[in-house]
Amino acid sequence: MIHDVVLLGAGNLATSLAVALSNAGFPILQVYSRTVESASKLANLVGAEPICKLESLRTSASIYIVALPDDVIASIVSVLPELKGCVVHTSGSTPMSVFEGLRAKGFGVFYPFQTFSRSKIVPFSNIPICLEASNDECYASLEQFASKLSGTIVPMSSEQRRWLHLSGVFACNFTNHMLALAYQLTTEHHISFEVVKPLVEETIRKAFEGNPALYQTGPAVRNDIQTMERHAQMLKVFGLADLYKELSLSIQKLSGSDKGLKNRT
């Protein structure tokens, strides 16, 4: 079973995870980051030892959590020493096979499906944690470990996780970008962005009652070409006319009403 942790990473996810682990009673032995400043900032927050060289890594911890950017995971894994515990990464798009050849008790994936930032510590109690492991013993340990943080544990293959990560880009990253554009449009014309809030809240509430496509509203799904052309004209000054047309066409394709706009883009 898992009783102590070494955390490789000190970024957005690592910060919320470290706080959650510390609050759940798991000692964090070390925090690794490329710079001692970054490692120290998080390590001091949770009472861990900061390190910036992998040669200083303790090898007897129960679990090693690699919470680093996707493009550096493979290079870090390739220089890890032999480890007595399980090793996991927190990436949505990196396959578990990145650990093949690693000398460890086991390896896997511990993927919290949420958006994180250093400026806001996110509680883990309602975050789905997606798990995958190289063997049954490692999976059982990860499951027990994750259950101390969240009530939602989801077994998931690397292929499934890739698609979940992509769905998150649409549901989170693109949605937030749309809200940022709405903020730009409202504030540019001296309208309080707060006016938009009830609309967004109702949209999200209805979306999770079933298939969101069934609740689609607006000029695109109504095939209101006159309104859409007027909107596109208004957006030219912001450089958003083409984006508006592409999104409207996507709405129409999903709803099966794309004939009207398709001939005008």
What local confidence, expressed as pLDDT, does residue 119 receive? 84
Q: Rounded distance, CA 46 to CA 49, Å?
A: 9
In this structure, the answer to whether residues 187 and 133 fall within a common structural domain is no
Task: Name the one residue in this structure whose structure tokens are 């009652």.
Answer: 209
In this structure, the answer to whether residues 90 and 77 fall within a common structural domain is yes
Residue range of the domain that includes 42: 5-156
In this structure, the answer to whether residues 178 and 241 fall within a common structural domain is yes
Domain boundary among 125, 156, 187: 156
In this structure, the answer to whether residues 210 and 94 fall within a common structural domain is no
In this structure, the answer to whether residues 20 and 142 fall within a common structural domain is yes
In this structure, the answer to whether residues 206 and 83 fall within a common structural domain is no
Q: Rounded distance, CA 99 to CA 91, Å?
A: 13
Rounded to 5 degrees, what angle do the CA atoms 6, 9, 11 make?
A: 135
Per residue, what are the HEC states of 176-189? HHHHHHHHHHHHHC
In this structure, the answer to whether residues 178 and 129 fall within a common structural domain is no
What local confidence, expressed as pLDDT, does residue 120 receive? 87
CATH, residue 117: 3.40.50.720
Written as one letter, the residue type at 188 is E
Read off the pTM: 0.90
Written as one letter, the residue type at 51 is I
Phi, psi angles (nearest 5°) of residue 136: -65, -40
In this structure, the answer to whether residues 90 and 57 fall within a common structural domain is yes
How many independent structural domains does the chain possess?
2
In this structure, the answer to whether residues 206 and 249 fall within a common structural domain is yes
In this structure, the answer to whether residues 26 and 108 fall within a common structural domain is yes
In this structure, the answer to whether residues 55 and 149 fall within a common structural domain is yes
Q: Rounded distance, CA 106 to CA 214, Å?
A: 44
Q: Minimal CA–CA distance to 243: which of 178, 170, 166?
A: 178
In this structure, the answer to whether residues 150 and 186 fall within a common structural domain is no
What local confidence, expressed as pLDDT, does residue 257 receive? 64
Q: Minimal CA–CA distance to 94: which of 74, 116, 120?
A: 74
Mean pLDDT by 10 residues, the chain (265 residues): 94 96 96 96 97 96 96 95 96 96 95 92 93 96 96 97 97 98 97 98 96 95 96 97 97 77 39
SS3 131: strand
